[in-house]
Structure 1
């Protein structure tokens, strides 16, 4: 097994005027989009050999219109999806609002657009899938029910397994800051492209080994994983803040998986096993 590759951080949004929480220092290269009415320029920062580097994309002065995709006006379809989620037991108003706001069809292949708002997982390439809406909403609701969750937004969140970027976009509605790590270069690039036009200043995409987390951004108020292993990696527990909550699938018997909720308190860690789920396997390294 090759050694984990040091995460490379990129961000699909603009630089925030003021950070919502203390974040790790790292040099960045700021690129204005070429071909805009305003002048363009590039400001390069020298990378520190021990720090992650990244690119923040910013358009001045106006925001780029979201891609038209297949011309689908999905507002009514999203509203019906949210109604179904509520009927299935999702009751967190902020989660339902976020699910209703993010256009899921922009994160799936054109051939699958008509299935984008069905309660089903869909392939996104490289043997991976976008989780069905009910599972995404359920896991996000569990995160927000954690003892350390504020009445408003979650604090800094670590997502293991960016995939196509859909869950990161929903998390951006619910958290002050999102670090999302993906081990497959093809999916990392796809998520970066999918999220670029949304200009999510609080989302940072990383390419690296999700099993080791991202220590430079720790501690995290919440951690969520989109792949299941034999156990919860120790690095995730270490990077979770006291009072924080972790939600992830985990093997409980043979090939069976279940959702696991882990709460970290000053007295220790408690683990709760919930309903059965089916996620792709958690793997180490990058590809």
Structure 2
């Protein structure tokens, strides 16, 4: 299979039509080898407009959904980043292209190993994957410029908001089936937050994200 041709088609036929035009995002999609973050038996589907199973009941999100979320959160050079729900490690790799460093938290030991191996194969050395329940965030390294939640939650965790710098951004998939909202939350300072819906979609929940914790 010609992966470079498939990658080009993914960007031109799926990503750009969804109004993902940020050059930094498109460059990240070109440079991170998506086919190396899927299970070997799914490599031929790596660039398809589908969610791909990665084990433990979790799935890799559609390329356009990942790209839209990445564009919304606007990673800048030097950003400190927390990701909740590492999965295959692909989103962590995309975040790492522009950010200074990424800490990614994954509750499933099998997926921790999968992501670490995938990141090593891609020679990405500014991501650290930690095993744990991401609903608590990672307070030891807080505060963060960016928090990316790479799975659905019913409501946004107060712990995440507490770990976000003033001026920082958080992106999460919030709600219940059949339609969830891709929400961008900005910390305005003094305990004030601004939330906006970027797009609507449907993605798998984080494993422990069933109970409500905070609502705007």
In structure 1, which of residues 113, 127, 142 is the aligned counterpart of residue 43 of structure 2? Answer: 113
Q: Which residue of 1 aligns with 2:68?
A: 138
The structure with the larger Rg is 1
Q: Normalising by the residue count of structure 1, what TM-score does the alignment of the two structures yield?
A: 0.68
Aligned length: 207
Answer 1 or 2: which has greater helix percent. 2
Report the Cα distance in structure 2 between the residues aligned to 1:254 and 1:75, rounded to whole angstroms.
34
Q: Deviations over 1:174-218 (max 9, x none)?
A: 211111110111111111111123332211111001000101111
Unmatched runs of 5 consecutive residues or more in structure 2: 210-216
Unmatched runs of 5 consecutive residues or more in structure 1: 1-71
Report the Cα distance in structure 1 between the residues aligned to 2:78 and 2:52, rounded to whole angstroms.
27
Q: Normalising by the residue count of structure 2, what TM-score does the alignment of the two structures yield?
A: 0.89
In structure 1, which of residues 259, 276, 285 is the aligned counterpart of residue 182 of structure 2? Answer: 259
Structure 1 residue runs of 4 or more that deviate by more than 4 Å after TM superposition: none
* Higher relative contact order, structure no. (Cα contacts within 8 Å, ≥ 6 residues apart): 1
| Cα offset, 1:110, TM superposition | 2.0
Report the Cα distance in structure 2 between the residues aligned to 1:277 and 1:220, rounded to whole angstroms.
26
Task: Describe how 1:96-245 pairs up with structure 2 within 5 A.
Answer: 96-144=26-74, 150=76, 153=77, 155-245=79-169
**What secondary structure sits across from 2:205 in the alignment?**
coil
Contact in 1 for aligned 2:73/2:169 (Cα 8 Å): yes
Report the Cα distance in structure 2 between the residues aligned to 1:107 and 1:175, rounded to whole angstroms.
19
